[in-house]
Chains A and B, each alone.
Chain A
C-alpha cells in the first residue's frame, strides 16, 4: 500500500511556496481555492472562465486609460481661481518642484505599473493561444509577478478621497468626470487581478506542447529528470 501511495505522489509534486511542504499536485476546482495544509498559503485559486475574462477585463482597462489620462479627476476653486488635477499633472508638478524621486515613484505606481499590468495580462491571456508566442508569454508571466504589487490604483483612489475631504473646507472641491472613469478602471484592475490564473496559462501551454509531441511519452513533459 505504501508503494502505491508513493507512486501516486511521485507522478507530479508541488511544494508550498511559503513553507516548502512537499505536496501532491492538485488543481483547485473552478471557483474554489487550494490551501497548504501546513501554513494555509493559497496554493492555487481557480477563477471561473479565467483566460477569456482576463482578456476582456484587461482590454477594458486599457480603453479606460484614455479618459483617465486625459480628463481631470478633481477640480478645486477659491473665488475665481481654479485648478484641475489629472493623473499626470501631479507628477509634473512634483517634478517641477525638484522632487524627482517622488515624482518617479508616483508615476510608476499610478500609471506605469497599472498600464504594464493591463498590457501584460492582455498579452498573456490572448497570446497563450498561439504557439509562436510561447516564449514571450513565459517572459510576460514572469514579469507580471514582479510588477503586480506595484500597481496601486486603489491606494491612489483613497488618496483622492482624502484630498477631496481634506481640502473641502478651504475652497470648492468638485468631482470631475475623470474620477468616475478612474473608479471604473480601479475596479476593472482589481477584477483583472482576481480573474487571472497563472496555472491555467501553464496548463494550456503544457497541453499544447504535449499535443505537439504526439502524446507518445507522457513522462517527457514533466521536465523532472530522474536522479
Chain B
C-alpha cells in the first residue's frame, strides 16, 4: 500500500536531490567553500539519498562554551575547506565541507550522541557512482591523534574526496624572514662575536646544557606533549614512565648543581690559597653534594615507589 503512494514521488525525490545539490553548491560557493549548518541544512546535507560525500566539523565556537580546542582547530578546518574550492568544479561539487556549531543545532548534537567538540565526521556518498565498495553509509570519524594542523587533516580527508585536496601549507613568511634576518645579523656581527664563538667555554656551556636537558627527559615531554604541570598543580607526574615539563627543569638543575659541586672541588678549591677558606669550601661543597643528592634520591623514590634505598631523608 505504502509503496504505491511513494512510487509517484520517486522522480520528485530525484529532483529534490538535484535541487539539494544545487542549493548546497550555492551555499558552499557563498561562504568560501564552507557551509554553515543548522538542523535543516544538516539533514539536507546528510540525506540518505546523497550522491555526494561530506565532511562536517562539529564545534562550539561561542565564548560561553569555553571550548579552547575548537578555537584551535577551526582555522585548520577553514584553511582546508578553502583549499577545496580550488579543485576543478566537477570534483568540487561531489564533496562538501561544513561546520555545525553547537549553538545552531543542539538537537543534532543530541541526535548523534556527541558529548564533546570538536569532532569531524566524514559521510561517504550513499548513492551513485561514488558509493563505497563496502556499501558503508555511516560516517567515519577523523582521528585527532595527528594533531590539529591542517596538513595531516587535508592528507587524511583526501582519502574521502574524489581527488586529493589541493592543500598547500601557506608560505611561512615570518619564519623565513626571521631566518634571513638572523643569518644576516650573524654574518654582520661575526667579527664581534667570533671571539665568543671560538671560546671553548661557550661550546662547553652549550654542550653541557644540551646534555642536561636531554637526560632530564626533555625529548619525552616534547614527543608526548606532556603538560608543564599536572592539572591539580602537582609538578611530579605519578608513575615511573611519565613526567611533566617542570620535572625537566628541576632534574636538570639538580644534575647541574651536583656536577658543579664536583667540578668546583676539582678545579676551584685546590687553587684556594688560604687553608682555612679551602677547608670551609671543601666541607661546604661536599655537604651540598650529599644534600642535593639526597634530594634527588627522594624525588626518585616518589617516581619509583619500590626503590628501597635512601640517603639523608
Partners in one complex: no
Listed in ascending order, the chain A residues whose CB lies under 8 Å from chain B are none
Q: Which residues of B approach A to under 8 Å, CB–CB?
A: none
